Amino acid sequence: MSITSATFVKSAVSLKTCPTANIPEFAFFGRSNVGKSSLINQLTGIKGLAKTSSTPGKTQHLNFFLINESWHLVDLPGYGYAKVAKSKRKDWENVIKNYLIKRNNLLCLFLLIDLRHLPLDVDLQFIDWLGKNGIPFCIVFTKRDKLSKKIYENNLSEYKKKLLEDWESLPPIFVTSANKNIGIDELYAYIEQLIMVVGDE
């Protein structure tokens, strides 16, 4: 199976304004500019579906897309964008955390991380928060094409080591490049598998 249709549903500014939670949902989240929108476009095969930009902070709402008429994909606004006022950032953080905790149909959050940097506190703290709140998540490393093999291997093992300091086991990890179409099929296979599991329940 593959993605045969993807349409924009709506932009929401809070949990209350999200579409009805009656189909499986997958959300993409991560620091500003990490490549969330690009990955969504590559996954769905539709270039302009999610708006991408070299200016961080492009995505500012929870953007819902209906995929194959059967599940939602959500592009969340990035965190850590310095140019957004502090008070506004806090508001957004609360909206997203509220969404993640209360959205019953959310099957998995894909946390996107740029592997060009060694583990950043802001990402580790968020992972900690996800774990403590029991939110199912995977880590998706992005922009693989920008890394040499050596840096890639070093940073990936540093990341795993750091996570295992706090966690007994690692979450599922994907390594991707939207530009070079790396790891996208694996990501999609994972989504399909989760949809099938809930369909069987």
Cα of first residue to Cα of last residue in the chain, in angstroms, is 20
State in angstroms the smallest separation of the CB of 197 from Mg ion: 28
The nearer residue to ligand GTP, 52 or 195, going by C-beta atoms, is 52
State in angstroms the smallest separation of the CB of 36 from Mg ion: 5
Q: Phi and psi (nearest 5°) for 69?
A: 55, 20
Q: Which of residues 44-83 bind Mg ion (CB under 5 A)?
A: 58-59
State in angstroms the smallest separation of the CB of 132 from Mg ion: 26
State in angstroms the smallest separation of the CB of 172 from ligand GTP: 19
The nearer residue to Mg ion, 74 or 195, going by C-beta atoms, is 74
Residue 80 touches which of ligand GTP, Mg ion, none (Cβ within 5-8 Å per kind): none
Write out the two tokens for 171.
């979450």
* From candidates 24, 30, 37, 106, binder to Mg ion by CB under 5 A: 37
H-helix or E-strand containing 114?
strand 106-114
Residue nearest to ligand GTP (CB): 78
State in angstroms the smallest separation of the CB of 127 from Mg ion: 20
CB 16 within 8 A of CB 22: no
User: Distance between CA atoms of 67 and 83, rounded to whole angstroms?
Assistant: 32
Q: Which residues bind ligand GTP (CB under 6 A)?
A: 32-38, 52-54, 56-59, 78, 142-143, 145-146, 177-179
Distances (CA, A) of 175 to 6, 35, 172, 186: 23, 12, 10, 9
Q: Which residues bind Mg ion (CB under 5 A)?
A: 36-37, 58-59
